[in-house]
Structure 1
């Protein structure tokens, strides 16, 4: 199932129609849908779609050579291979340029692992020949850190050659919901809160089963669950010391958010060592460091809190990894009923705050806010926490929201409490105007609806967040 990616397809189409040579870098985490995006883009165009593997450099060159040869010939000689990567890349300039060809080198980092000189060779051929052709070349990779250092980095041979680059991110809530047309809005949200926006994960759940049944079958089943070992395999493939990273992620999933808390809870007792592991996890886009939206220098803020950015890893390290022994003993049903379902609403509340913040960002992008925010996020100090804060110091304005993932209708007391929290912002003098909003699971009391109309308070339910 291919959903959304309109902006990325539009970027690729614009570059395809540019009339000049294009070197595009597309990268992002595994399972995020890079290959499916590129297949959708080049489906109606002449193309070579080479997917690198972990095989040795000679085999990689031979496979690429044969794909390139068959592009312009009816058949390819057995064991044909160009003598070098330089010869193979030079041969790209000789293929027909009308209609314009698309050349995709997927999992480009595998080529680099097999031959460190590949980027330099490609840079040489690009400068000498390919930049003057009509080719559209896409370099695609899953190792984010390596793509940013070896392909996009200032010291990289290909630096300055790319004509476009994009980091493909997980699908947002409205797009993820489209995987489950038979679910109610609440079920669609819960599925997203568990799986996040990774298309592969979303495709595993089936909406002819309810959420608990999908969790039991696809995540908790140690023998047949398609997602049971997914995080373990992901981290073992990409990290040299997965054990320490597992401990770090588990510590965060269990509620330890500050650096010193993570270090102690994970057993990585040296704060400097824990910080190094966290930095790598941030580079992989698995963990994010949040600071209050009012912080003017986020990187230097001492109020940073760490959070697992990937919803499914957050779920797995909270419920699966700590219960590994019980799941191996066949206790999946008991673990689901006694440890997961009673806590699931509490788990989903964090994702609800994220969805609300993303919704406010879309309002700003669509010009539906009274001011242009400089930052959107949450806010906290030692005594108070605000779930959603959009702020503009220039206009001295703020948009303040509270999220309640509760079955009960939200009442006026929640608005009163939010106004009280906002006093901390007003006291600073940086904010003079505040607009209030409440995000609820499904409903509001008549009293709150009446007060909201009178005071122009925004009221939003989960089904509104799903509509984008």
Structure 2
């Protein structure tokens, strides 16, 4: 089955869907497809239905009665019936659905898109599907390949967990991720200009829909056009990206106290990454934020990253760049931005915010991503097992040193070893002073009994280049590695 024309990448996802749809067993099977909004899940599943002559139903937020009417009409059209089905309840609808494939016949793909909408109005639906997928399906139904799809990550994650009715029933559990920074640069057509690619990525990330529908194909022509592009598409009240962050929050069914969630995201976007820092920003007790942080994690809006050197310490970061851009830069000046003639002034005075709270932290995250997935063993001095950030205490100076990139590996005897530590500077030419800071941190780590840092390499990541002195030293010392933007996007 050929991938639909116009589908970028998604080779793994498409191959798994094809494998699921092509399974020749006589029983009905279940697959679950999830992922954040705007990632192309519907495009994938609609394409699968088109090439397999499958049934695709996209639910809307509606009452049970209206959902049944919509489903009955869609099913009738698929079967070529002149009159729609009139289902009194979902038990009848599921029975008809599971009959789309006949015993002994070819498998039939059936997709229920936006499944959380259906289950919210009809909580018994997962149990009805469980029964339909049970052992009796071998005798009463045909080889239906049922795919449930949804963007509510907390709901979709719970669909197959714990004591949920569909637990243990799925033979496919596919998460459609955002495109990483390299794929996003290719998708936007910006691979020839890595600096521009990273600037764009810091605003819109790797969400495919933002490249086409949301900006009508408008990509910045060069670095000088980046600011005007932001004004045209992100700070423009007439474009969908202007309110996208607000909609992402409103579309999550598990977020009820939206004022609190908005404030938590604003705290993180403005540089408060620990629970204590977030609590201080909100003027609340840190114990009061446990539920809100957990819910935001479950919905995929934030991620909790452990400190590389302190098992009980962690940092919270926003997962979607458009949210960081909104909460750090747009939300504090929202009243001005609603007047189109004020956008240019807002963008100009927000440049320090953009550098310190948006592009700087995003560059650090991209450096960790590169180190985790693209850096070679030769660069790192061994095979990596985990890549994190962390804080190294300095007892003499009575301070802590932040380390942007921390790379761990494992020796042949199973002992963990610190392969490398690194510093990332987006708009600063790195020199010997930056290397000396890393050497000091490495010396502190070597003095700790629980860290094997004898062969630790030093990594310097820069978006602005390196001084001649540092370049000359790195040529002579294999323990020092320099990574610029071109290497981030094309090297290892």
Q: Same fold (TM over 0.5)?
A: yes
Identify the residue that residue 147 of structure 1 maps to in structure 2: 156
Tell me the residue number matched to 2:476. Answer: 454
Whether the 8 Å CA contact 1:93–1:129 is kept in 2: the answer is no
Aligned to 1:274: 289
The secondary structure found in structure 2 opposite 1:127 is coil
Structure 1 equivalent of residue 3 of structure 2 = none
SS of corresponding position for 1:307: strand
> Which deviations, in whole Å up to 9, do the C-alpha atoms of 1:416-468 show, x marking residues without a partner?
22122222222223213212222121533343233223222322222222237
Moved more, 110-119 or 23-32: 23-32
2:396 is matched with which residue?
Answer: none
| Paired residues of 2:22 and 2:107 also in contact (CA < 8 A) | no
Q: Distance in 1 between matches of 2:198 and 2:280?
A: 33
Range with greater deviation from structure 2 (308-317 or 179-188): 179-188
1:247 to 263, 268, 276: 263
Show the 5 A alignment for 1:57-136: 57-71=64-78, 73=79, 75-96=80-101, 99-130=106-137, 133-136=142-145
- Where structure 1 has 5 or more consecutive residues not aligned to the other structure, the ranges are none
- Residue 218 (structure 1) aligned to one of 220, 227, 233: 233
Q: 2: CA distance between counterparts of 1:338 and 1:378? A: 30
**Inter-partner Cα distance in structure 1 for 2:46 and 2:309:** 42
Post-superposition CA distance 1:98-133 (Å, at most 9, x none): 553211111100011111110000100110444674
Partner of 1:360: 371
Correspondences of 1:54-453 after superposition (within 5 Å): 54-71=61-78, 73=79, 75-96=80-101, 99-130=106-137, 133-149=142-158, 151-181=159-189, 184-203=193-212, 204-205=214-215, 206-208=218-220, 210-222=225-237, 224-238=238-252, 239-267=255-283, 269-295=284-310, 297=311, 301=312, 303-329=313-339, 330-339=341-350, 341-346=351-356, 347-363=358-374, 369-381=380-392, 382-392=399-409, 394-406=415-427, 408=429, 410-429=430-449, 430-431=451-452, 432-453=454-475
When normalised by structure 2's length, the TM-score is: 0.86
Q: CA deviation at 1:384?
A: 0.9
Q: What's the CA shift for 1:367?
A: 9.0
Query: How far has the Cα of 1:229 moved from its partner?
Result: 1.5
Q: CA deviation at 1:169?
A: 2.2
Q: How many residues align?
A: 456
Question: What residue in structure 2 maps to residue 35 of structure 1?
Answer: 42
Distance 1:14 1:86 in 2: 29
CA deviations over 1:268-295 (Å, ceiling 9, x no partner):
x132222221111111111122222234
> Residue 405 of structure 1: CA displacement?
1.0
